Structure 1
Amino acid sequence: MGKSRFQWLCFHFLRLTSSFRRCPLSKRSLIIASVCVVYLFFVVSQVGYSQQHRDRRTDKEKYRHARGLYNLDTSDALPDSADLQSFVVPTRSNVVYITLKSKRLKPANIRGTIKPKLRRKVRRNKFTNSAFTQNKLGTLERDAGQIKDNFTRRTSWAKTKDVDYKTLDIVHNSITDAQTDSRIRIYSQRAPPWFSPHDVRVMRFLADAKVLRIKDVSHGNSPSLLIFEGETSVSLTNQKQTKRNNACEGRCGVINSPVDTTEVFAFHLDRVLGLNRTLPAVSRKFSFIHDGQPCPVVSWDASLYPEGLAAGLSAVQLTWGEYQSSLKQRCWHKNISPKSDSGCSTVHHYEWSKLALFDFLLQIHNRLDKSCCGFRPRQEDACVELGHHADCADQNHIQLTNIIHRGHDPRHLVFTGNKGFFDRNEDNLDFKLLEGIKELPERAVSVLKSRRLREKLLQSLFLDQTYWESQGGRQGIDKLIDVIERRVKVLLTYINAHGIKVITMNV
C-alpha cells in the first residue's frame, strides 16, 4: 500500500511540473514570486512568535525565583546593597549559593596531636565567694613565700646511712603551680609513632604532676640532685630500688638548671632517630626555684643506682685507649662472649656507634672527649678552666666519663647529662667523637637521609608547650634545627668519605 501511494504522488508531481513547464514565462515568474512572498511572511511571523514566547518565559522564571527561592515578596522593599552581597547568582535554577564566613571552631590540624576536650566553665557566685577568695589568695601567697624562704635557707634536714638530703613539703593546692590544662599538647588520637605509651605517660607526669615535696640530694663527690616527688604510689618493679636508695618514695623527676635546655631537645632527637637511649625530659616552670624560669625536668630512674645513691651511678670505667681497643675487637658482637683478658667492657659493640652519632649531632663532648681534644675550645669551656685540655698530649690515658648503664642491663647505654652545643660552627666540629667508628645504625641514618628530619622534630617538639615557647616558638625552634641539619650534611659526607657501613642494629 505504501508503494502505491508513493507512485501516486510521483505521478501527480510529474503532471504538475509538465503543466508548469508549458505555461508562458510571465505566468511562471508570477507564480514563483507569489510563493517566495508567502514563504517570507511565514518565516517573519514564526520569529516574532518565538521571541515573544521567550520573553514571557523569562518573566515567569524571574517571578518564580523571587517568590519561591529567595522568599522576596513584590510588595516588600528591596534589600540594601550589604544584604545583596551575600547572594550569588545561581548557576542552576534549583540551587542557591550563599557566601558566609564561618568561624573556626577547632585549631589547625597538626599531625601527631589530639583535639583537647572542651571544658565547661563553672558558674560561681561573685558576691558570696569574693571574701573567701581574697582570704584564700592571701593565705596561698604567704605559704608560697614561706616555702621559698625555707628552701633558700635549707633549714629542714633529713639523713640516712646512704645519702644526705634536705626535704621540703610543698602546699598541695598552691595556686602558683596548679595547672588546669596539660602542657603536653597532643591534638590527634595518638602521639607521634616514635613515642611509646610509656614516654607519653612520663612526659605528662613531669609536665603536669602536682609537686608534693622537694629533695636536695647529695651523694659522694657528685653534684647534688634536686628531685621533686609528684605521686606516692610505686610500681612493683621499682619497690626494691626505692627501698634500697630511699631517695624517692613515688614517681619523681630531677630538676636541672635552666641553662641545660638541650636535655629536652636531646630527648626528642633521640626518639626521632629511633635510638631510645635517653630518659624522658620536658621543660617546666616552678615558682619556688630558679625565679620561675623554664628548666628541664628529667625522669628519675632508680635502676641507674643499683647499689644506692652513695655508690653512685652504674658507670663504665674506660680510658680512651681501652675504648679504641674494644671497638676493634667488636665486643659482644653476635652475642659472643669476649675472652677474660680482652679488656672488653660490658657494653655491646653497637652501643658505641649509637652514642657517637648522637653526640656528634649535638656536639656533646663530656663523654668521649672530656678534655676537648677534637676541637678548639673557648676559654670559658670547663675543659679549659679545669685544666683538662692539657691532657691531650697523652690521649690514650684520658678517662671516659658519663658512660652509664642500668644495673640490670649492662649491655645497653643510657644517655644522661646531654649537654649539647648549638653555637659550634661547621669548621670547628669535634670529629674525635667518630674516631674508630666503622658502622652506624641504619634506622637513624635513614631518617637523616630522608629530608624529613625537620618535619619530625617540629612535630615532636611542638608537644612540649613550655619548651616551645621558651625557645621563641617556631622561629627559635627552626634555628636550632638549622644547626642540626648542617651537621647532618657534614656527617653524611663523612660517612661516604670514610666508607662507614650503615647496618641494622637491633640489639
Structure 2
Amino acid sequence: MGKSRFHWLCFPFLKVTTSFRRCPLSKRSLIIASVCVVYLLVVSQVGFSQQHRGRRTDRDKYRHTRGLYNLDDTLPELQTEASSVVPTRYNVVYITLKSRRLKPAHIRGTIRPKLRRKVRGNKEANSAFTHNKLGTLERDTGQSKGNFAPKGSSGETGDVFYKSLDIIHTSHTDSNADSHISSIRIYSQRAPPWLSPQDVRAMRFLADAKVLRVKEVSHGDAPSLLIFEGETNASVSNQKHTQRNNVCSGQCGVINSPVDTTEVFAFHLDRVLGLNRTLPAVSRKFSFLHDGQSCPVVSLDASLYPEGLAAGLSNVRLTWGEYQSSLKQRCWHKNISPKPNSGCSTVHHYEWSKLALFDFLLQIHNRLDQSCCGFRPRLEDVCVELGLKAECRDQNHIRLTNIIHRGHDPRHLVFTSNKGFFDRNEDNLDFKLLEGIKELPEQAVSVLRSRRLREKLLQSLFLDQTYWESQGGRQGIDKLIDVIERRAKVLLTYINAHGIKVITMNA
C-alpha cells in the first residue's frame, strides 16, 4: 500500500524527466537557459528589496538621531559655567529674513480697538478685574465667598491655594506646568547674548513654574495686584525682601490683563537695546483665568517696595519743570554730588536718556506725558476721559508718574507698566518724550543703525512660544517690528536734525 502511494506521487516527476531526456539536445539547452534566466531574475529582485529595506532603516535611524544634543558630555560643563543654558528643544529652527514682505502690513489690522479701549476710572476697572477673577476661581472650585478674607493689616485681600482647586487641576493642564516641555524655546547651549542667565531663569520660572497659590495684594494707591506664587527656590536676597514685605515665601509673578501684551515685547526690546531696565516678562496661559487666554506675567521684584506693598512703589516725585531743570544741570553726572538746593532728584542723568529712547520707540506716555500733551489722543484714551488734557496749559506743574527705582539703588530707574501703542502713526508720534534730551546711549543707537534690530527681536521673541503664537506667529511679530523699525528711522533722523550726541553710558 505504501509502495503504490509512493509510486503514484513520483510518477509525474518520472514522466517529466523521461520526456526531457527524449527531447533533442537543442530544446534541452533552451529549457536549461530559460530556467537559469528566471532564477537570476528572481534572486536579483529579492536581493535589491532587502538592500533597499536596509537603507531605509538606516535613514530612519539617522532621521530620529539627527540634531540631538549629547547631553552626557555637556552636562558637566553646563554645571561649571553660569551662563550656559540646557537646551529645552531637540530640533533646530533657524529664523531668517528671506520671507520679508515687500509691503509692510498696516498695524491696525492686528489690533482690536475694543481691547484697546480705555475705561473711565482706570483704578476701579483694574480692581474689578482682580476681584472678578478671584470670584471666578471661587465659583469654579465650589468654595464659599467667606474663604476670601477681607483686607488685613498686611494688605492682602485674598489667598487661594492652588492645590485645593481640584476641579481645575484635574480637568485642565495649567500652562505646561506639569509638562516636561518648556514654553521657553532654547535650541542651543546658550541663550542670545543680550539675555543674562538670571533673565533665562526668571523666564522659565514665570512660564513653567507650578502655581502654588494665587492672591490679590493691595498696591498702595494703585490698583491691586494679582500675584501667583510658584514652586521654586528663591535667591537669598529675594527671600529677605519677600519675608519683610510678607508677599510670598518664594518667587512670585504678577498676572496682568491679556490686553497688556506690550509688557513682553518691551522686555525683549529693552534687552536687545542693552538698556536692561525692565523686569522679565513672558506670556502664560492659566486655565482658571480669562478662559485660557495668554496673559503677560511679570516678575515681582520686592526691592521696588522698600516699605512693603501696602506703601506702594518707590516712586520719584517730580514735576515736568523740575525734570527739565534736572536735565540742564546733568545731575549726578561723573558721580559729582549736586548742590543741596539744586532741585536734583536721586536719579542719574543718563537714566532719563535711556527712558526717553525706550518710551519713544514704544510710544509709552504714562511716565513723561501722562496728560497727552505731545500728541493727538483719541476720545477713548484715559487722558481725554479724565480731562487731563486741560493740564497742558500749565505744563511745568504736571507731575511725572511711574518713575520707579529700587530701594537700595536710587540712581537707576526700573521701567514698569510698559503699556505701549503700536497703532500710532508716524505723523502723530509723541516728540515731547524727547524734549530736553541732549545725549542718547551709544549701544542702543548702534543697534538701531546696524539694521539688525529685526533679526535680534525675532530671535529673542521666538524664545517665548506662548507670546509668539498669541501674536499670530512670524507674520504677526513682523507687523509689530515694522512699527518699531519705522519709529527707529524717525528717531535717527531726529538725532541728526537736532545734533544729539551719542555717547557711552555705563553709569
Q: Report the TM-score range of the alignment, normalised by the length of the smaller protein.
A: 0.7 to 0.9
Q: Which has the larger Rg?
A: 1
Q: Distance in 2 between matches of 1:438 and 1:257?
A: 36
SS at match of 2:416: coil
What 5-or-longer segments of structure 2 have no aligned partner? 1-36, 69-84, 92-135
One-letter amino acid of the counterpart of residue 41, structure 2? D
- Aligned residue for 2:410? 410
Q: Distance in 2 between matches of 1:108 and 1:117?
A: 6
Equivalent of residue 166 in structure 1, options 148, 158, 161: 158
SS at match of 2:487: helix
- Rate the CA distance shift 1:76–1:426 in 2: closer, same or farther, 3 A: same
Give the superposition deviation at 1:291: 1.4
Give the superposition deviation at 1:206: 0.3
Contact 1:147/1:170 (CA < 8 Å) preserved in 2? no
- Rate the CA distance shift 1:160–1:245 in 2: closer, same or farther, 3 A: farther
Equivalent of residue 116 in structure 1, options 86, 89, 93: 89
- Rate the CA distance shift 1:316–1:296 in 2: closer, same or farther, 3 A: same
SS at match of 2:284: strand
- Aligned residue for 2:148? 156
> TM-score w.r.t. structure 1 length?
0.73
Give a deviation string over 1:177-213, Cα, whole Å, max 9, x none.
Answer: 1431111000111100001100000100000001000
Report whether the alignment pairs 1:428 with 2:401.
no
SS at match of 1:342: coil
Contact 2:156/2:215 (CA < 8 Å) preserved in 1? no
The 5 A counterparts of 1:456-471 are 456-471=456-471
Q: Distance in 2 between matches of 1:488 and 1:107?
A: 40
The 5 A counterparts of 1:5-404 are 75-77=40-42, 104-105=63-64, 114=87, 116=89, 148-149=140-141, 155-157=147-149, 159-171=151-163, 174-175=169-170, 176=172, 177=174, 178-180=177-179, 181-231=181-231, 233-404=233-404
Q: Distance in 1 between matches of 2:160 and 2:257?
A: 19
What 5-or-longer segments of structure 1 have no aligned partner? 1-71, 88-96, 119-143
Give a deviation string over 1:138-160, Cα, whole Å, max 9, x none.
Answer: xxxxxx98663568957421654
- Rate the CA distance shift 1:453–1:429 in 2: closer, same or farther, 3 A: same
Q: Distance in 2 between matches of 1:151 and 1:291?
A: 19
Contact 1:113/1:191 (CA < 8 Å) preserved in 2? no
- Aligned residue for 2:120? none
Q: Once the two structures are aligned, what percentage of the paired residues are identical?
A: 74
Contact 2:199/2:280 (CA < 8 Å) preserved in 1? yes
- Aligned residue for 2:73? none
SS at match of 2:40: coil
SS at match of 1:341: coil
> TM-score w.r.t. structure 2 length?
0.73
Contact 1:113/1:185 (CA < 8 Å) preserved in 2? no
Contact 1:232/1:249 (CA < 8 Å) preserved in 2? no
Q: Distance in 1 between matches of 2:449 and 2:66?
A: 32
Give a deviation string over 1:326-381, Cα, whole Å, max 9, x none.
Answer: 00000000000000100000000000000000000000000000000000000000
Contact 1:183/1:465 (CA < 8 Å) preserved in 2? yes
Give the superposition deviation at 1:108: 8.6
- Rate the CA distance shift 1:182–1:379 in 2: closer, same or farther, 3 A: same
Select between 162-171 and 464-473 the one with higher mean Cα deviation: 162-171
Q: In angstroms, what is the RMSD of aligned CA positions?
A: 3.1
Q: Distance in 2 between matches of 1:255 and 1:205?
A: 13
Contact 1:151/1:168 (CA < 8 Å) preserved in 2? no
SS at match of 1:191: coil
Give a deviation string over 1:280-309, Cα, whole Å, max 9, x none.
Answer: 000000011111110000001100000111
